[in-house]
Amino acid sequence: MARNVFRRLLSLGRGREKNKLFSTCASPASAAKLSRDLAVNLNMIRDTLGNSMDVVVRELLVCRTRVALVYINGLINETALRENVMRALMIDMHNVEPSPGSGSKDLADSVKEKVLSIADVKKIGDFHTVLDGILGTGIVLFFNGEDTGLILKLPGFETRSVEEPHTETVVRGSREGFVEALSVNISMLRRRIKSPDLRLERMQVGGVTQTDICVAYIKGIVNTKLVDEVKKRLQRIDIDGVLESGYLEEFIEDAPFSIFQTVGNTERPDKVAAKLLEGRVAIFTDGTPIVLTVPYLYIESFQVSEDYYSRYIPGSLLRMIRLLCVIITAELPALYVAITAYNPEVLPSPLLISMASSREGVPFPAIGEILVMGVFFQILREAGVRLPRPVGLTVSLVGALVVGEAVVSAGLVSAPAVIIIALAGICSFVVPPQSDTNLLLSLFFTILAGFAGFFGLFLGFVLVLAHMASLRSFGAPYLSPAAPLSPGDLKDTFIRAPWWVMTGRPRVTGWKNTRRAGVVSSPSPPRNEEKKPAHRYKVDE
């Protein structure tokens, strides 16, 4: 009900759906064709771009024709411009036979075919493409007397070098993380998936920022309806700027009012490759190392790329530890409240006595303790994250040692409450994608337990479970493969089965092409090892 009202309020300002609010090509000239007169073209450029300091217009004379180069300083490769363009036009041009401009062909054609030693050169005729080219790391060449220009792609801007991802570090596995430049990110993916079926479709969103995004999937594995749905949702986006993939996430997610995220994100190329192999779709956004993957299931937050690289037995154990940590984070504080406030008799007597004695003299009820300490923990965490590292250390030291210790010895908060909050806090870092969600869940459960003890806590459980069961991410039920149950896919949930057992793709995403590994390829020693050694050791005499 409230949701509908909220939707209605949101849609009030949406009367003008059709005319996009923002557009780079605001001037009326945008749709125009190029003129034969060079001066007109250049004037148009100057009118549209204004006198921005980084726009460079260089005019020169080639074979008695006036030619102009327009580009944006800093976006293009200066060396290549000097060597392959300027030098070619001003010196090599004169050696071209027959002399350009004299024959039947245009000067632009001759220059494109015979002079420029650059791979990506296109002929253009309208002003809109010219602007796109200039703003998108290109050099535009105008020729006087011709209504076509050339656009040379020579990207040469500064990028961060490829580094180890900060959010998802592994002990074993690739150390590469995505960077901000879209082309670099895509090349990292290509290098991992050399299949001709890997499709990378470019789109542009953001009326002002004109951000490039790229929808990646593997044809033949992915559900084509999923790709269409992703593209449809991306095309619907109408916003002035997209500076990070989080913008897209909010526009395309299925459950915007839920605390659970239904769009995955990662910084690791190997993870994206793995997701694509499971039949998912990835969305790259220029300007951010975070790549989105859909559909996103709840179980994915427990799956770390290292599970698949290390041996499967410890991998499975770690999965279960993570699950345990999620339970601890979300429920331990609530359990503490329920037990101390309502049903202390469930504890074994010695433990009950020691807890009661440490709570003696504490002026707050259990729920007060837990909430205050929880908020305190989050403040410490936030302070530690934002501050520069040396200061952050001080914060954690002061917070943890001085305040944590002092609070207990002053008798404001009991020691068990501090232990429980600390434990829950540490466990919340074990599954990073869920740490915020679990924090909210923990708050929800704690308040319910404060109101109604175990009953409230368990009722909260059921409500959260029902809510999660109602979620979908791009058509995939959020709790699958547990609900709806698909027994074959449980191999990659609470445990991580060995690779030679996981012969099928998860059915929920890879429904079409389910076979991913040979059925009988489990490793085994050669049967006739004893009788016939594979090779003999030569004994030197």
Binding part of the chain for other proteins, among 135-143, 150-158, 430-438, 452-460 by CB under 8 A, reads 452-460
**Which pair of structure tokens corresponds to residue 339?**
């037990």
Minimum CB separation of residue 254 from other proteins in Å reads 14
**Which pair of structure tokens corresponds to residue 55?**
């726009």
Minimum CB separation of residue 416 from other proteins in Å reads 17
Question: Nearer Cβ to other proteins, position 149 or 477?
Answer: 477
> Does 495 engage in binding with other proteins (CB under 8 A)?
no
What part of residues 139-158 is at the interface with other proteins (CB under 8 A)?
none
Site string for other proteins, 293-332 (x = CB under 8 A): ----------------------------------------
> Does 461 engage in binding with other proteins (CB under 8 A)?
yes
Minimum CB separation of residue 485 from other proteins in Å reads 5
Kindly state the number of chain residues that form the binding site for other proteins, as judged by CB under 8 A.
28
Residue position matching structure tokens 């991913």: 516
**What residues are paired with 505 via a beta bridge?**
none
Question: Nearer Cβ to other proteins, position 338 or 441?
Answer: 338
What part of residues 334-363 is at the interface with other proteins (CB under 8 A)?
338, 342-343, 345-348
> Does 477 engage in binding with other proteins (CB under 8 A)?
yes
Contact 470, 254 (CB under 8 A): no
Q: Which residues contact 244 (CB under 8 A, 6 or more apart)?
A: 285, 287, 288, 290
Q: Which residues contact 72 (CB under 8 A, 6 or more apart)?
A: 54, 55, 56, 134, 135, 137
> Does 458 engage in binding with other proteins (CB under 8 A)?
yes
> Does 466 engage in binding with other proteins (CB under 8 A)?
yes
d(CA 37, CA 142): 9
Question: Nearer Cβ to other proteins, position 71 or 342?
Answer: 342
Binding part of the chain for other proteins, among 106-114, 232-240, 390-398, 478-486 by CB under 8 A, reads 478-486
Minimum CB separation of residue 519 from other proteins in Å reads 24
For 222-260, b/e burial (b = at least 16 CB within 10 A) is: bbeebbebbeebbeebebeebeebebbbebbbbbeeeeb
- Of 264, 289, 456, 506, the one binding other proteins (CB under 8 A) is 456
Question: Nearer Cβ to other proteins, position 282 or 338?
Answer: 338
Question: Nearer Cβ to other proteins, position 1 or 539?
Answer: 1
Give the distance from CA 512 to its chain's centroid.
Answer: 25
Tell me phi and psi for residue 63, to 5 degrees.
50, 50
Binding part of the chain for other proteins, among 10-18, 45-53, 91-99, 469-477 by CB under 8 A, reads 469-477
282: three-class secondary structure by DSSP: strand
CA atoms within 13 A on the CB side of 108: 21
Ranges of beta strands (E only) in 38-196 are: 55-62, 65-72, 121-124, 138-143, 149-153
For the beta sheet containing 55-62, the strands, ordered from the edge strand earlier in sequence to the opposite edge, are 55-62, 65-72, 138-143, 149-153, 121-124
> Does 485 engage in binding with other proteins (CB under 8 A)?
yes
> Does 459 engage in binding with other proteins (CB under 8 A)?
yes
Residue position matching structure tokens 């060597």: 83
Binding part of the chain for other proteins, among 81-89, 94-102, 272-280, 450-458 by CB under 8 A, reads 450-458
- Of 324, 463, 517, 519, the one binding other proteins (CB under 8 A) is 463
> Does 482 engage in binding with other proteins (CB under 8 A)?
yes
> Does 452 engage in binding with other proteins (CB under 8 A)?
yes
Q: Which residues contact 251 (CB under 8 A, 6 or more apart)?
A: 233, 234, 236, 237, 239
d(CA 60, CA 67): 5
Binding part of the chain for other proteins, among 137-145, 149-157, 308-316, 451-459 by CB under 8 A, reads 451-459
* CA end-to-end span of the chain: 91
> Does 453 engage in binding with other proteins (CB under 8 A)?
yes
Binding site for other proteins (CB under 8 A): 338, 342-343, 345-348, 452-456, 458-459, 461-463, 465-467, 469-470, 477, 479, 482-485
